Structure 1
Amino acid sequence: MASRAATGLFDPGTIAGRWIADYCSHAPGGDVLCDTGAGPAWTALFEELASVAGDSLEHIRERAQRNADDIGTGFRIAGEGEERPWPLSPVPLLIEKDEWDGIAAGIAQRAELMETVLRDLYGPSRLVADGHIPATLVTGSPFFLRPLTHLVPPGGYHLQFVAADLCRGPSGEWRVLADDLRAPAGAGYALENRLALARTLDGLQGRLNIERHAPFFAAFREGLAASCRRAEPRMALLTPGRLNASYAEQAHLARYLGFLLVEGADLAVLDDRLYVRTIAGLKRVDALWRRLDPRLLDPLALDSHSTIGVPGLVDAMAAGNVVIANAPGAGALEAPAFAAFLPQLAQALTGEALTLPNIATWWCGQERERAHVAANLDSLLIAPAFGVPPLGLPEGKPVLGATLDAEQRAALLADMERRPQDYVGQEVVRLSTMPVVADDALASRPFTLRVFAARGGDGRWTVLPGGFARIGEHPDVRAAVMGNGVWSADVCVHGAEPVAPVSLLPSGDSTQLRRNPGTLPSRVADNLFWLGRYLERGEALLGVLRVLLGHSISADTGAALSGDTVARLARMVVQGGSAPEPKALKRADLTWLVRTALEDETSYSVRAINRQARLIGEVSRDRLSADMIRLLDAPFPQRGVLLDKAGSLQRRYSALAGLAAEHMARTDAWRFHDIGRRIERASAGVRFLRAFGCPEATSDDLSTLLDLADSQISYRQRYLTGLARIPVIDLVMLDPGNPRSVAFQVAAISGHLNKLPVLSDDGLAEVQQEQARQLAAILVTANAKRIDDALLSGIETRLAELSESIARRYFLQGAEPLRAAGLVLA
């Protein structure tokens, strides 16, 4: 009996019931869990949580966060250099399907209304002429782009993808807090939240029949393709770059949708068509899903100061040759001031009220509304009308009128009198709450919901079932206090009917087979090439430092090296810019030299090299595995003595090399990564030979050379009589079977270059191919007995020239001529 009682006490159903009862005993009114009476869906959710975590909510929180981190979800705060992990709550927001269908219908209605208004604003402007919209509301908005007037977007649609932030009031009604039309962010986070939750609670999908995300993204991709002129269009996601707040999300979306992830420098317009610069020349781009500020898209048509846009892009759009989602200028309707007019526009244009109403908004550009806001300042939220900070709100953020002191209040009212059109007043919204895990217990926190809609292939709107919830840090349920929140949560739409498994990928039987991995932009090839070089460069420097520290396979080297050999090692470190010249070569001085070259933040140290590799990894998320990104992002070792740190770094380099060798598909992307590694390894090998393979080399020099070339074991297996200069040089320099030899690297480089695309079909070798073949011929015909410093110096120069030729041929070279000889256009 005692055993059964104990089992019942700790079974998932009992634990879930206790959690819910404890939570609802102190949750405020309007909580989504408690107001519904903790129905079967919420009970099933907490039973799943208990079955995974037992009685520890903190355990399930850590598990969910770990899954989110493993996926690589991150975001960046403006002004910060490092990404932060995406904060995920293990408790999703549950919405019943019937309730969600009403939300989805309201979002679709709203999106179509905005499409109608945009078509008029950038076309005949009847809404302004007929007095439905004040002219100053349009012409005074920085989001209204006058150069785009009377331009009909390809496919006829201004909007392809929209987002809206919703709030649920304490009585259960849903309303719209804000619309996002310029460059809606967050769909990737919704996707990643769902993936992390599925890994955390893998049984929840089956128990609750949760609607899936894949059909929404498939519809968006089909809708974008339907507006393109070509039957099989090439589509890309245009990102501002790695410093953008949601770059990690953009990379995830591009990979999931099969879009190219491009920056402005990757693109060029030629004859009113948009192209991406690739290793095989220019390739047509038919659609851009942009996450770039529309004013920065084209310096010729919009902001002439933009350095990240694409000159001529608006002309290509006007010619109907590229679809831009959303069309530039769509953001005019997301200004808070416009929300004051949407209810009347809905009635005028559709004869129906908005299913999802706005929060009440008063634009101060109208005299009566301004007077209302001024008279009711203490009970309203005051916000910039167009997102641009006015003088009365210097921080550019909405403020609660009641929180202003006398001086701030006077300044606000004075500027509102002077420029009333810059302000809106909005009602102070109170939010529903939902459960989160805090201090190993459930706590109630306010939340908002971001919802996404996309235009499908049939031109109709599809709404993502769920989106993601933002959750506030404090119990204060006012939306203005909550801000953007500190946690996110998955949003699960559940129903009684089973949901068929759906993937974004079509079935294998209906998919045309292909072994071509697709287009490789020049910038991506450049990044992967230099990622390989930096990793190999760091490993080579680490090898020198490990020998200096006494870590060698030979008991006669390391700490017992001769003074001349140690001096040569120290000179290599100094000449490489990794550390200043030491005062002497005593043990303390060498320790300082090694520590500086290993850990210093400013020199060309191992730490600095790793930082460069990590930065490249950040912009290559769509091309590298999660394991590789995780290793690149790993913090620099802090524990142990220098030799321990060096060993930890060596294992990390080996793991990265193993992932590249065994897990990267043998595509052109991998070839550039491997070419970078091998050029750097060959160059380091030549430098080692010049330093330690000279005619007067001692046994310490030769053993050090074998250590640095990672060839000690190979030499000892082959030569049992001890160290000799010529055999060592042959093994390190010329042996085609030694994977660390210079000859092996050059042969591999030549093989890669022979398999990369060429720009002509005459069968003749390109410059970089000729250089690699000539270098390989020198090494194949060389004799170890005749290798001297002059030959080694010449090979080092040829390697540098080969690297430059590869860059000139395949990578972006600034203002390169678009009509270069043999340029491929496809």
Structure 2
Amino acid sequence: MNSDYAADAARACDHFDEWQDAHGVRMHWRRFFELESAVELAGKQGDADRQIRDNGITYNVYADTRLGPARPWSLDILPFILDDADWRHIASGVSQRARLLNQMLADLYGEQTLLQQGVLPTALVLGHPGYVRALKGHRPAGGVFLHIVAFDLARHPNGRWCVVSQRTQAPSGLGYALENRLIVSRLFPEAFRQLRVQHLASSYRQLLATLSQLSPPTPRQSAPRMVLLTPGPYNETYFEHAYLARYLGIPLVEGSDLTVRGDELFLKTLTGLTPVQVVLRRLDDNYCDPLELRSDSTLGVPGLLQAVRAGKVLVANALGSSFLESPGLHAFLPGVSQALLGEPLQLPSLLSWWCGEDAALVEALECLPQRVIKPTYPAASPREHMEPVLASQLDAASLHAWRERILRQPGDFTLQENVPLSQAPIWRHGHIAAHPAMLRVFAIADGQGGWQVMPGGLTRVADEPDQPVVSMQRGGSSLDTWVLTQGEVDTFSLLPGQLRPTDLAHKRRLVTSRAAENLFWMGRYAERAEQRVRLVYWALEWLAVRQTDSAGNDACLPLLENLCRYMGLLPVGTPAGIGPEALARALRIGLVDGQAAWSVAHTLSALAGAAAPVRDRLSSTYSRLVLATSRRFSGQQAQRAHQGDYSNAEALADLEQLAVELVAIAGEQADHMTRDDGWRFLAIGRHLERLNLLAAQLGLGIAGCTPPQGPAFELLLALFDSTLTYRSYYQCRQELPALLDLLVCDANNPRAIRSVQAALRNELEALPKLPGAPALAEWLPSSAPGLDALCQRAPNQQLETLRCFLQHLDNASARLSDEIGLHYFNHNPSWHPDNPPARSSPC
């Protein structure tokens, strides 16, 4: 190996050194660097960072992507290497631990002998909010409560591995570990082969096999439908959820995608309700069912616990397993292992003291400065939440305050020994540095009482050499974990092979009801924003130059005010009949107030909110454009509000820029989206909103006995974005038949009501047909009345046929929106033979 590497790594005396021992660099590292050179390493970190950016691998540190792009995942190019002997010891101890935890759940939700015999304190178990009493007596299929368990391991300075924590409800890291492996193994293909590194894919195959084996029976012995349940795109590890679901070949769903009907779980899709037998969850226990667990949760599925109790769905891991993550349990696990397994623990826990026991409290407080103070119960519990505290970093006053706090509520705290983490080699700034490391390993149940430990894991390293805590949220990085073997290397892979023409035939992408609903509202909000911008721009421009004695101004001002009220552009409480200056001022206030539901900024925010959960269906340009438009306009208006002086000229300039951006958004939809059912719902939303608004606006424009003239005539043309077309046909003549022909009847005008109606019918007719549901296109009139009928006046001088037709469109579009939601989004049809859609003439 190159001697420069050894010279660059400083050996820490009070930590176990993963890089070298008393005899120099460890054998596996010597073998690794015999295959690598400094020149090669210098460029490979950049290659890894580039691949992370290209693959979109992220970790949302603040769990809110609305604030901007998520932080790229951090990966150091050097792997964390474990030799065969080291791994055999870890795998055996982890397998025993997983077996023990599963048997603990079986006992504590069953006969509770551990509590009756005093092996475990009753208060620590039953007092934990993660113990779900509603599942007492429930035994899942095969007696398997835990299907995958993660353990965080630290290496003691004496070289002994110990368990720091265990993750039993929704362990994370499987997706990131896989992505790390794909990147690093491609950076060092020769070292990966020569060192005989064990592959990971068989563990994921085992997970799928276990879930399939334990799933409830399916009709006609078909393969069970599995889904991966995620909290959604604002979760810190959302990328991993999406990546893991894609790798395993199962749909990624949110709680709103699922529904329980008659104790069975269903996935809501555009083709109807699809039964689901297995849920691989990445959602914490208390959020999974708002009916029986946390009532304020909007992330879970109402009725899920009842479906579990009825045996109609398998949830992995079993609900009610989160209390096993309490650090307070570690002190009792040696006794539990003897009671349940009849054997000592092969992998010890960190020395732990649950302060709820008097003896443990006294012993722990004697050496408080050398301990780590941890909460016994999770952040979601009613107790005050706290992050772990290193007592060694506290001054005398803080240490005294903590001692008093622990004495007041001893059961809320667990103390653990502070073990210096081992130092792992990482590549920093062109040389090797030693940083604290912690290893997360995963055990996967085989469904028959055994466990397979994935030969690898997720190793995390601290951001600084002297940082005592390893955390991705505190800027840490990750390493691929290489487990070496002397035996055969399993080369099985779940990555897709080369596609054949037969694989591509009739390929349809699953569209969940939630995705369709978000796309539907994206279309509606985009069209609503365009219409609002068009109206405010025309209003402010006209109000700035109007002449009080011009013909038609007296009629236009009330119409303009009515239109602005209908579009929700005036602040609540704005009096009726306000003058032109007050109207202009009210419209500018509406632009500035980004929190008000009537504002343009609020509509743009709603558009961005609808786009966030379906980013995987939008081009990166489309996603960025929607987010950037909302953020820019909201920020711009906030700045205007702070200045306090917002002129008409500034408002018009802002609206003009926004109009261009909205046209770009419409163009992205039209030219850069695949024409699948998801796109169809986006188009339906846009056309439905357009039809509703245009019909209502025209209805207000022709409401009087006198045909619209002058500015009112120009206003209607502007709202239909048809001013240039009308002038090219009729120059400056203002004739009612010409106006109605262009705005209602002209099939070549994409803004004409007839064209919008026809486009909407076409998209509705192309939707998947649902059993028992009506043809939704039948809610719309099949055609518009002829021009002669539209222009005919009733005895009261009203355009009665036109008014009736527009009113029917307004009612039909509202009902159609409800029916789309009931049938395709909520799957709760209201239609029955006695309540068919109206197919007759509206008048």
* TM tier, smaller: 0.7 to 0.9
Match of 2:172 in 1: 185
Match of 1:8 in 2: none
Match of 1:94 in 2: 79
Match of 1:334 in 2: 325
Q: Which 5+ residue runs of structure 2 have no aligned equivalent? A: 638-649, 793-798, 835-843
Match of 1:750 in 2: 761
Q: Give the residue type in structure 2 aligned to 1:485.
A: R
Distance 2:414 2:449 in 1: 34
Task: Tell me if the contact between 1:183 and 1:326 (Cα under 8 Å) persists in the aligned partners.
Answer: yes
- Are positions 1:614 and 2:608 aligned together? yes
Relative distance call for 1:482 and 1:31 in structure 2 (3 A) is: farther
- Are positions 1:527 and 2:518 aligned together? yes
Once the 2 structures are TM-superposed, how far is the Cα of residue 187 of structure 1 from its aligned partner?
3.6
Structure 2 length-normalised TM? 0.76
Relative distance call for 1:90 and 1:570 in structure 2 (3 A) is: farther
Q: Give the residue type in structure 2 aligned to 1:669.
A: G
Task: Tell me if the contact between 1:155 and 1:323 (Cα under 8 Å) persists in the aligned partners.
Answer: no
Match of 1:487 in 2: 476
- Are positions 1:50 and 2:37 aligned together? no
Q: Which shifted more, 660-669 or 502-511?
A: 502-511
Match of 1:719 in 2: 729
- For residues 767-778 of structure 1, the aligned pairs below 5 Å read 768-772=776-780, 774=781, 776-778=782-784
Match of 2:153 in 1: 166
Number of aligned residue pairs: 780
Distance 2:618 2:570 in 1: 32
Question: Is the partner of 2:474 in helix, strand or coil?
Answer: coil
- For residues 553-572 of structure 1, the aligned pairs below 5 Å read 572=563
Q: Deviations over 1:244-279 (max 9, x none)?
A: 554554455445544444454554434432234455
Question: Is the partner of 1:719 in helix, strand or coil?
Answer: helix
Relative distance call for 1:25 and 1:401 in structure 2 (3 A) is: closer
Match of 1:283 in 2: 274
Relative distance call for 1:406 and 1:487 in structure 2 (3 A) is: closer
Relative distance call for 1:206 and 1:789 in structure 2 (3 A) is: farther
Distance 1:795 1:149 in 2: 55
Relative distance call for 1:770 and 1:734 in structure 2 (3 A) is: same
Once the 2 structures are TM-superposed, how far is the Cα of residue 326 of structure 1 from its aligned partner?
0.8
Once the 2 structures are TM-superposed, how far is the Cα of residue 604 of structure 1 from its aligned partner?
2.8
Distance 1:547 1:442 in 2: 64
- For residues 99-498 of structure 1, the aligned pairs below 5 Å read 101-102=87-88, 103-104=90-91, 106-128=93-115, 132-169=119-156, 174-190=161-177, 203-204=187-188, 208=192, 215-228=202-215, 229-230=217-218, 231-240=222-231, 244-247=235-238, 249-264=240-255, 266-298=257-289, 309-346=300-337, 354-387=345-378, 395-403=385-393, 413=403, 420-433=410-423, 445-455=435-445, 461-463=451-453, 466-479=456-469, 484-493=473-482
Task: Tell me if the contact between 1:703 and 1:723 (Cα under 8 Å) persists in the aligned partners.
Answer: no
Task: Tell me if the contact between 2:18 and 2:422 (Cα under 8 Å) persists in the aligned partners.
Answer: yes
Relative distance call for 1:608 and 1:397 in structure 2 (3 A) is: same
Q: Give the residue type in structure 1 aligned to 2:758.
A: A
Relative distance call for 1:604 and 1:242 in structure 2 (3 A) is: farther
Match of 1:677 in 2: 686
Relative distance call for 1:462 and 1:589 in structure 2 (3 A) is: farther
Distance 2:346 2:590 in 1: 65
Distance 2:454 2:734 in 1: 70
Q: Give the residue type in structure 1 aligned to 2:778.
A: E
Once the 2 structures are TM-superposed, how far is the Cα of residue 684 of structure 1 from its aligned partner?
3.2
Relative distance call for 1:85 and 1:452 in structure 2 (3 A) is: farther
Once the 2 structures are TM-superposed, how far is the Cα of residue 690 of structure 1 from its aligned partner?
4.9
Distance 1:607 1:83 in 2: 17
Match of 1:4 in 2: none
| Partner residue of 1:605 out of 596, 599, 615 | 599
Match of 2:795 in 1: none
Q: Give the residue type in structure 2 aligned to 1:284.
A: P
Q: Deviations over 1:792-821 (max 9, x none)?
A: 3443333223223333443339xx699999
Match of 2:641 in 1: none
Distance 1:610 1:281 in 2: 31
Question: Is the partner of 1:682 in helix, strand or coil?
Answer: helix
Q: CA RMSD in A?
A: 4.9
Q: Deviations over 1:183-215 (max 9, x none)?
A: 2234445456667x57xx964556645876655
Distance 2:78 2:660 in 1: 42
Once the 2 structures are TM-superposed, how far is the Cα of residue 679 of structure 1 from its aligned partner?
0.7
| Partner residue of 1:668 out of 663, 673, 677 | 677
Distance 2:514 2:173 in 1: 25
Question: Is the partner of 1:675 in helix, strand or coil?
Answer: helix
Relative distance call for 1:74 and 1:153 in structure 2 (3 A) is: same
Task: Tell me if the contact between 1:468 and 1:488 (Cα under 8 Å) persists in the aligned partners.
Answer: no
Match of 1:800 in 2: 814
| Partner residue of 1:741 out of 741, 752, 768 | 752
Task: Tell me if the contact between 1:730 and 1:784 (Cα under 8 Å) persists in the aligned partners.
Answer: no
Q: Which shifted more, 456-465 or 521-530?
A: 456-465
Once the 2 structures are TM-superposed, how far is the Cα of residue 155 of structure 1 from its aligned partner?
3.8
Q: Give the residue type in structure 1 aligned to 2:684.
A: I
Once the 2 structures are TM-superposed, how far is the Cα of residue 159 of structure 1 from its aligned partner?
0.8
Q: Which shifted more, 489-498 or 393-402?
A: 489-498
Q: Give the residue type in structure 2 aligned to 1:536.
A: E
Q: Give the residue type in structure 2 aligned to 1:275.
A: F
Task: Tell me if the contact between 1:452 and 1:463 (Cα under 8 Å) persists in the aligned partners.
Answer: yes
- Are positions 1:653 and 2:662 aligned together? yes
Q: Give the residue type in structure 2 aligned to 1:113.
A: L
Question: Is the partner of 1:489 in helix, strand or coil?
Answer: strand
Distance 1:713 1:98 in 2: 76
Once the 2 structures are TM-superposed, how far is the Cα of residue 631 of structure 1 from its aligned partner?
3.3
Once the 2 structures are TM-superposed, how far is the Cα of residue 325 of structure 1 from its aligned partner?
0.9
Distance 2:460 2:731 in 1: 71
Task: Tell me if the contact between 1:225 and 1:233 (Cα under 8 Å) persists in the aligned partners.
Answer: yes
* Identity percentage of aligned residues: 33
Once the 2 structures are TM-superposed, how far is the Cα of residue 140 of structure 1 from its aligned partner?
3.8
Distance 2:392 2:446 in 1: 45
Once the 2 structures are TM-superposed, how far is the Cα of residue 109 of structure 1 from its aligned partner?
3.7
Match of 1:56 in 2: none
Question: Is the partner of 2:386 in helix, strand or coil?
Answer: coil
Distance 2:561 2:200 in 1: 58
Once the 2 structures are TM-superposed, how far is the Cα of residue 381 of structure 1 from its aligned partner?
1.6
Structure 1 length-normalised TM? 0.78
Distance 1:255 1:212 in 2: 19
Task: Tell me if the contact between 1:469 and 1:490 (Cα under 8 Å) persists in the aligned partners.
Answer: yes
Question: Is the partner of 1:616 in helix, strand or coil?
Answer: helix
Task: Tell me if the contact between 1:215 and 1:504 (Cα under 8 Å) persists in the aligned partners.
Answer: no
Q: Deviations over 1:458-516 (max 9, x none)?
A: 8754555654444445543423x869532333525376999969444476569977747
Q: Which shifted more, 541-550 or 359-368?
A: 541-550
Question: Is the partner of 1:740 in helix, strand or coil?
Answer: coil
Question: Is the partner of 1:426 in helix, strand or coil?
Answer: strand
Relative distance call for 1:368 and 1:795 in structure 2 (3 A) is: closer
Distance 1:507 1:64 in 2: 21
Q: Which shifted more, 593-602 or 285-294?
A: 593-602
Q: Which 5+ residue runs of structure 1 have no aligned equivalent? A: 1-12, 54-58, 551-556
